[in-house]
Structure 1
Amino acid sequence: MVTNWARYVATSPLLRDHGLVCLGAGEQSEARTGFSGRRIESHALVFVSEGAGAYQDHRHGRIEFASPAVIRVPPGRVHGYGPGPDGWTEHWLLLEGVTVPALVELGAFETARPVTRLARTPAELPALFAELRDLLDSPRRSARLETSAICLRLAALAADVEIRPDGAERTAARVLAALRETAADRVDVAERARRLGLSPAALRAVVQQAAGQSPHEFIVTTRIERAQALLAGTALPVRVIGAAVGYDDPAFFSRLFARKAGAPPTEFRAAHARRSPGS
């Protein structure tokens, strides 16, 4: 049984301007009342783990839903939500900070869909909110940093456990695994789609939904991450590593690597290579 609680905290300007701040959090078990016409100046994230109810705003109208689900509300939106007659259990979070736009981009606050059904109630949810409550009560300075970390984990849960209909989750896993395995192949997106039995448009839709990137971006990211591992973990020449991950032109590979990794291959290796003492 969830313990009913609510905590509100003053913002931390330093965390707000450089990271993520939890402005409030709480839980309600078997709640039977809701509200309407509310407008807040922070992002709200509400997990509904048991029961059913409805959400409403002027943009989307009334949305009825059953648990498990997550409600996402952006700042300034007049809205309301509440349980049905049998009540529900909710876990809510108020957030602000420069990290929030990245969370929006990564799907944690997909404001085009304010209510999303979840495949399952995240098993970590009760423990994370219990830890969050203790941290919000703590006088320790480091507690605010730990609170920010918990909020990031909760945002990731909201972004990652969405239901995908008709076996699409299995399809996405198969497609991404195949793209990773063949990332170094010198073929275009149309050929990759053909190998997977998909149209190019279908491949783009699957990868965008699952990874938040186009297939080309996903391939490039996979290649650069492999190159980073090879630069840090081997003594292979840069040109050999470039060819191994799919780039035959060493100059193009070095420019691309620098743009994606933030430093040229030689500088990355100097900073990250593991060396034995005295080498």
Structure 2
Amino acid sequence: MVGDADPRHPWIRGTHPLDYRAEVVSSWAQYAAPTPLLRDHGLVCLGAGEQSDARTGFSNRRLDSHALVFVSSGAGEYHDRRVGRRTVSSPAVIRVPPGRLHGYGPAPDGWTEHWLLFDGVTVRALLDLGAFDTRRPVAQLRQMPAEVPEFFAELRGVLESARRSARVTASALCLRLIALAAEVEIHDEDADRVADRVIAALREHAADRIEIAERARRLGLSPATLRAVVHEATGRSPHEFIVTTRIERAQDLLVRTELPVGAIGAAVGYDDPAFFSRLFARKAGVPPTEFRAQHTRRPPSP
């Protein structure tokens, strides 16, 4: 069957001495000892692997780290005491936090999975931003990202490497895979439409000097619903989202125009120049004048 597709997995090619992509996919697992510096200040990859045509799974398992499992073909089941039993039908992902007693595995026909273990302080941000939503341990995907096999193949190589820089590469690949899953996750379409409308309106009228309750009324929502919608979509409160939008617009105006700082503050919703400068410095890390000096492009001196 050299050079022919495997009928069970059409994307797997037969071996060919001149085609490095032709190697038949095999099951593998690679683990890495924790890197304290990455764990304590970022994200550390603790292991990754692949199970092609897997027929067995786990039961009553409790992990010390977070796990993300991509199921690219086949179907099966996930279960834990919090959510009960959930059907897993490819393409899908399974997300498991540390300490949760759980189990999952394929139906008798098997499935293909890629799995990832990781930990670190960055996970808190991923949880708050909704990129790793453990409230929904099983999530359906619109499609399996084409990059997944490629990223896992690269991850296998860097986890085998003894170079210190390989730990950083593994961390970056972990983050990219987590982001890929979040990008293609299927959400409630009606809720997404409401969120898109709300976010667009808040962006458009961010500079308006009106209270949150009035913004909610104009959108036909209660203040509580507005808070819930915005937090689910952005991980922020409506007030935080509006402030962030204003500061981002101010950054753009500082770089693209020569408007005075006070005028820029007024343009984004702040009439008090001193208050705007203090707020900008707190959010951007530097005062407006310094931000402009750092980021404005100028022709080289003669």
Same fold (TM over 0.5): yes
1:1-279 map, 5 Å: 1=12, 2-278=25-301
Structure 1 residue 63: Cα displacement? 2.3
How large is the RMSD of aligned CA atoms in angstroms?
Answer: 2.2
CA distance in 2, matches of 1:68, 1:232: 43
CA distance in 2, matches of 1:28, 1:177: 42
Residues 45 and 171, structure 2, Cα contact 8 Å, conserved in 1: yes
CA distance in 2, matches of 1:131, 1:116: 25
CA distance in 1, matches of 2:263, 2:26: 58
- Of structures 1 and 2, the one scoring higher in RCO (CA 8 A, sep 6+) is 1
CA distance in 1, matches of 2:106, 2:235: 32
Q: Deviations over 1:154-196 (max 9, x none)?
A: 1112333332224333333333233222222222333333444
Q: What SS does the corresponding residue of 1:162 show, helix, strand or coil?
A: coil
| More moved, 134-143 vs 79-88 | 134-143
User: Which 4+ runs in 1 deviate beyond 4 A?
Assistant: none
Structure 1 residue 117: Cα displacement? 2.3
Structure 1 residue 130: Cα displacement? 2.1
Which residue identity does 2:232 align to in structure 1? Q
Structure 1 residue 229: Cα displacement? 1.9
Structure 1 residue 197: Cα displacement? 4.2
Residues 141 and 184, structure 2, Cα contact 8 Å, conserved in 1: yes
Residues 131 and 182, structure 2, Cα contact 8 Å, conserved in 1: yes
Structure 1 residue 238: Cα displacement? 0.8
The TM-score, its normalising length taken from structure 2, stands at 0.83
Which residue identity does 2:95 align to in structure 1? R
Structure 1 residue 131: Cα displacement? 2.1
| More moved, 71-80 vs 161-170 | 161-170
| More moved, 170-179 vs 212-221 | 170-179
| More moved, 172-181 vs 69-78 | 172-181
Which residue identity does 2:198 align to in structure 1? V
CA distance in 2, matches of 1:134, 1:232: 42
Residues 130 and 232, structure 2, Cα contact 8 Å, conserved in 1: no
Which sections of structure 1, spanning at least 5 residues, go unmatched?
Answer: none
Residues 55 and 81, structure 1, Cα contact 8 Å, conserved in 2: yes
Residues 48 and 88, structure 1, Cα contact 8 Å, conserved in 2: yes
Residues 106 and 159, structure 1, Cα contact 8 Å, conserved in 2: no
CA distance in 1, matches of 2:128, 2:182: 10
Number of equivalences: 279
| More moved, 120-129 vs 93-102 | 120-129
Which residue identity does 1:64 align to in structure 2? T
Residues 47 and 69, structure 1, Cα contact 8 Å, conserved in 2: yes
Structure with the greater alpha carbon radius of gyration: 2
| More moved, 251-260 vs 195-204 | 195-204
CA distance in 2, matches of 1:60, 1:175: 30
Q: What SS does the corresponding residue of 1:207 show, helix, strand or coil?
A: helix
Residues 91 and 143, structure 2, Cα contact 8 Å, conserved in 1: yes
Q: Given the superposition, is the C-alpha separation of residues 45 and 14 from structure 1 closer, same or farther in structure 2, using an over 3 Å criterion?
A: same
Q: What SS does the corresponding residue of 1:167 show, helix, strand or coil?
A: helix
Q: Deviations over 1:63-90 (max 9, x none)?
A: 2232222212122222211111221121
Structure 1 residue 23: Cα displacement? 0.8
CA distance in 2, matches of 1:59, 1:74: 12
